[in-house]
Structures are given as C-alpha cells and as structure tokens.
Amino acid sequence: MSVSVKTSKASEKMQLARRSFLAYSSGLGLSATVLPGVLWAKMQDDDVTKITKEMLHDAEKTAGLEFTDQERELMVEGLNKRLKNYEKMREVHLDNSVVPAIQFNPVPPGMTFEKKQRAASRTAELTGRPIKASKPGKAKRPSDIEDLSFWTITNLAGLIKSRKVSSLELTNMYLSQLKKYDSKLQCVITLTEELARRQAKRADKEIAAGRYRGPLHGIPWGVKDLLAVKGHKTTWGAMPYKDQVIDMDATVVRRLEEAGAVLVGKLTLGALAWGDVWFAGKTRNPWNTEKGSSGSSAGPAAATSAGLVGFAIGSETHGSIVSPCTVCGVTGLRPTFGRVSRYGAMALSWTMDKIGPICRSVEDCALVFNAIYGPDGKDSTVVDLPFNWDAGRGIKDLKIGYIKSAFEQERDDKESKANDEATLEVLRGLGLDLIPIELPDYPVDAIAFILSVEAAAAFDELTRSGRDDLLVRQIKNAWPNRFREARLVPAVEYIQANRLRTLVIKAMHELMSDIDVYVAPSWVGNNLLLTNLTGHPAVVLPNGFNKKQEPTSITFNGKLYGESEVLAVAKAYQDATGFHLKHPVL
C-alpha cells in the first residue's frame, strides 16, 4: 500500500510539474529541446512561481534568438502577467467542438467558380440535387445474398429499387459479415444493429410505397468513429474517450439518413485520427492480415475492401483517406476543403480536416458525395457551390497534367513505379495528351507543424491533465509526443507558416489555371502534404498490384471545388482498367 501511495504522490507531482512547464512554455515560445534541460528541472521545484531571466536565457536559444540581459529584464514582467492571463483563459472550458475565431480560406483572390446547377436527365430522386448517374444494369438477384458483398452502390441500388432485394436483407447480410470478419480485421468499434434494422425497414416501406429517395436508399454503410451518432458512443478511437457519447447526429450522418442510407456500424480509426492503432488493437489489411490497414480511416477502408459495408465515410487531414485506400485497394474521394460540413466530427486541424467517401468505385464516391456536400448553417467554412456530376461526361476536352519528376524519381518500390508509369500509358491510350508539370517549389515539409499545433490546441486539456498517457501509442511519432512538441512552437512561427501557405495557394492557383486535373503517384514527393495544405480535392484508386498481390494506387488531383472533373478523369481510368473489381479473400 505504501508503495502505491508514494507512486501516486510522485505522479501527482510530475503532473503538477507538467502543467507548470506547459504554462511557462506557452509564455516563452519554447521548442521541445528545452524539455531535458534546465527549465524542466526548475519546473519541478515547488518554489518556482514565475519566469526568471535565467529561464529566458535558456529558452531563447531554442527559438533561434539571442537577447541582451537588458532586453530580458524588460520581458520578464510582461511574460509573468501573461501567465496569469493563461490561467484565466483556462477557467473557461473549451470543448473540442469550439472552433477558433480564425477561418482558413483556400480560395486565392480572383478565382471564380461555376455557380449553376445543371439540369439532369436521371436525377437522384427526392434529394433536390440532380445528377447524371449511370443507369443500373438489369442485374438478377444472386442465389446467395453474400455474393452482393462487393457490389457497387449503382448495382445494389438497382436491385433495391426494383425490390429484387430488400434493404433489410442486405442490412442483415452486412451485419453478419461485420460480425464474422471483425475478429480478423478489428475494423469495428460499435455495431449499430438496432438503428440499422429500423432504418432498413423504413427504407423498404418507403420504396414499396413508391417513395424512392435515390441511389443510396436502403444501402448499408459504415462511418469512421470520429463522427457523432445520437445514442451511440463516439470514441475517436482513443482510450480517454472510449465511453464518450455525443448526443447528436453529425451533419454527414444526418444527410445520409435523409438520403435513405442505413448505418450498420461505427468503424475504427487510429487513436485521435493517426494510424491504424486504436484503443482495442490494430485494424488489419484485408489483403494481408499480417499488416495494418494504414490510417487514420483504417476501419472504413478495411471494411469497404473486405465487403463488409456498401460504402463508408472517412476523413483526411494529411493522408487519412489516400493512405488506407492505397493499401486496402479501394477508391476514395478527399473533397475540397470547405465542401462537406464537419459539424459533429472530431476536430483535429480546423484548417485541414476534410470528410469524404470511401467506396468500391469512383462513381460510388460521386453518389455519396452528392448526398453530403454543401452548407448546413453550422460549419462556416462550407461553401455553396454546385456539384455537376455526369457519369457519361467525356474527358478529352480537359487539360490533364502529370508531375513529371515524381513519375521519373527512382524508388525502392519498383512495382509501384511500374504501375504508375502504366497508368500514364492507359491515359494516353484514352486519347489524352498529358502535360508535364511540376508543383510549386516551396518547403511545405517545413510548415507541416501547422497540423500539430492545431491538434495540440484541440487536445490541450488532454495534454494538460496528463490523460494523454492513456493513449496506446507512446512513441516519438504519435500524438502524445507531438502534442507536447507543438505546445512549444512559437505563435509567431505558426503565423509565418500560414503566410508561407498563402504563397503556396497562390502558386497552385497559377499552376491549375493551365490544367483541369493532374495525376500523381500517391506517396511520392510533396503532393499529398501540399494539396492537404492548399485544400485541393483528390481521388485515389487502385492502379495494380505488387508481387505479393497487394494493391497499389494512383491519385488524381483537381481544381478547388472541381470534384466533377477530377472524378470524371478518375472514372475514365477506372473503367479502362478494372483493378477495383478484384477483391481480397479472407
């Protein structure tokens, strides 16, 4: 007993020291290299109650500055007053849902957009959003309903609309698949069985009465567990929040319900949207269960790939749709920043978070996106612009580029490089004259800390309380350490990084003024980070397999709010190849 008491007191002292240190670091703008030094030792001294000149002398080195003793004397009083202001600020609870009074806008001055919603011959009934979707084939009901596991939304919708298969049958099948294979994949956090069956029965009743809502009506789907669903846990994949219930429906969840979709489960994400490790394990790759499914949209990608849901919703801040879609061999759309409301979703980076569909085909992504995009009056970053999707649109009038240096760059992964080069040949075979381009030459890696700083602010209380120790991953490249490091980034450098970001946005606008879409290797160079910082949309889809029969991918990027065009080019490539029609065998 005495040992545990001593340990508890020691732990309390360390947490007190941590809180004190974080307060000082906020005032000083320190970097992580201070931690093992003099300041950390001083923060553990109960007698230290204020910032001293000696502390400043140590801190300024980490900011790349050098002050005189007289300058330090002038600074001390103001910094100590600032500490008191921080204490007053922290008396007000800031929930993760509270957004900063600073808003990111990816649109450079002078950029214009199409604002007219075009008419359509085949509409998404009752949605008020006309699109030209592919006409479903006259498919027959298979003898074994599990054969529908890997069907696309377009084909499943044809069966459901014609009542050859009921939504309830399809829902029960997917629920059974989720239960059967989750032990192998660890892709489910919460099954929403009662809700799913209720929604499926309603869909069947409405369709029987002639009230067909559109291609998502009666289609079972899964959601990344950072979006709130009323009456169910929203865990964010993290141990400190494993019992959290947010008593509301996220806008995306509500809109999909309005489209008639059936929610069958809340799917895994790497803890607080990083990687594929969550509080109960590691989400596995259906193509090779010895490997993870990447992240952070680990569960949505794995479940879609394995045929456990009709489609899923993921999110991306820096690769969280592109990466798991790549390794799981599925198709994902990362929309333009400000296209889809994040209301009811966990905030990680207010200027970089984006929500999008993960599906089995490009057109499936278009159908889901059509249901979820647009303003909701709750997320002020969302724009009101149309999505003019036409599945039969030709692409020869579009100017399509490719990042020349990225395709030519030598890589250890020879098979992925060969698949990427083959992608260009397929596009040329479609009659496209590809234009070689290069991305703006800015050090985007140097400003990647924008994400970490915003994430540290979003989870300030978690770090300050010491509950970040509950997160499963406690390594250098994981959130607990990144949150602590980011606390020590000077506010001036955060602003400067965003000013540099403005230059990148302007440079991308100039580049995209000459092309409509460009193709890039998914993981080569700075394209993934750069376009997440600038807010440009991307479609990622399979472009082959390696010798181990694991999928590889290619990425198409479009103009801001140019989802129609980038999806059209991606669809043309997908229709010409068919890699998306191959599925893993569990």
Q: How far is CA 263 from the centre of its chain?
A: 19
Sign of CA dihedral 543, 426, 332, 437: positive
143 a catalytic residue: no
Assign 3-class secondary structure to 333-395: EECCCCCECCCCECCCCCCCCEEEEEECCHHHHHHHHHHHECCCCCCCCCCCCCCCCECCCCC
The predicted structure's pLDDT at residue 138? 76
Distance CA 169, CA 171 (A): 5
296 a catalytic residue: yes
The predicted structure's pLDDT at residue 60? 84
For the cut 70, the answer to whether the pLDDT of residue 21 exceeds it is: no
Give per-residue pLDDT as tens, 405-450: 999 999 999 999 999 999 999 999 999 999 999 999 999 999 999 9
Structural tokens at position 330: 């599925």
Distance CA 335, CA 376 (A): 16
> With contact defined as beta carbons under 8 Å apart, do 192 and 178 qualify?
no
Kindly indicate the confidence band of residue 122, based on its pLDDT and cuts at 50, 70 and 90.
Answer: very low
Parallel, antiparallel, or unpaired for β 311-316 and 220-224?
parallel
| Catalytic residue, candidates 132, 161, 224, 571 | 224
20 a catalytic residue: no
DSSP code of residue 59? H
Distance CA 196, CA 472 (A): 31
DSSP code of residue 221? E
Assign 3-class secondary structure to 139-191: CCCCCCHHHHCCCCHHHHHHHHHCCCCCHHHHHHHHHHHHHHHHHHHCCEEEE
Map tokens 């990083």 to a residue: 274
| Phi, psi dihedral angles at 21 (to 5 degrees) | -65, -40
Kindly indicate the confidence band of residue 27, based on its pLDDT and cuts at 50, 70 and 90.
Answer: low
The predicted structure's pLDDT at residue 488? 87
Where b means 16+ CB within 10 Å and e means fewer, 455-482 reads bbbbbbebbbebbbebbbbeeeebbbbb
Kindly indicate the confidence band of residue 136, based on its pLDDT and cuts at 50, 70 and 90.
Answer: confident
Distance CA 279, CA 121 (A): 48
* Number of other CB atoms surrounding residue 327 within 10 Å: 25
| Catalytic residue, candidates 26, 296, 361, 416 | 296
Give per-residue pLDDT as tens, 488-536: 899 999 999 999 999 999 999 999 999 999 999 999 999 999 999 999 9
Cis peptide before 20 (omega within 30 of 0): no
Q: Which residues contact 512 (CB under 8 A, 6 or more apart)?
A: 536, 559, 560
The predicted structure's pLDDT at residue 16? 54
Sign of CA dihedral 536, 542, 543, 548: positive
Mean pLDDT (the chain) is 91
User: Which of 451, 449, 467, 494 shows the shortest CA–CA distance to 18?
Assistant: 467
Give per-residue pLDDT as tens, 179-217: 999 999 999 999 999 999 999 999 999 999 999 999 999
* Number of other CB atoms surrounding residue 186 within 10 Å: 23
The predicted structure's pLDDT at residue 25? 57
Domains of the chain, earliest start first: 1-92 (no CATH), 146-443+496-581 (3.90.1300.10)
| Catalytic residue, candidates 320, 341, 361, 564 | 320
> With contact defined as beta carbons under 8 Å apart, do 187 and 302 qualify?
yes
Secondary structure of residue 316 in the 3-state scheme: strand
Secondary structure of residue 517 in the 3-state scheme: strand
Q: Which residues contact 493 (CB under 8 A, 6 or more apart)?
A: 29, 449
The predicted structure's pLDDT at residue 24? 53
Map tokens 């490719």 to a residue: 402
Distance CA 527, CA 504 (A): 12
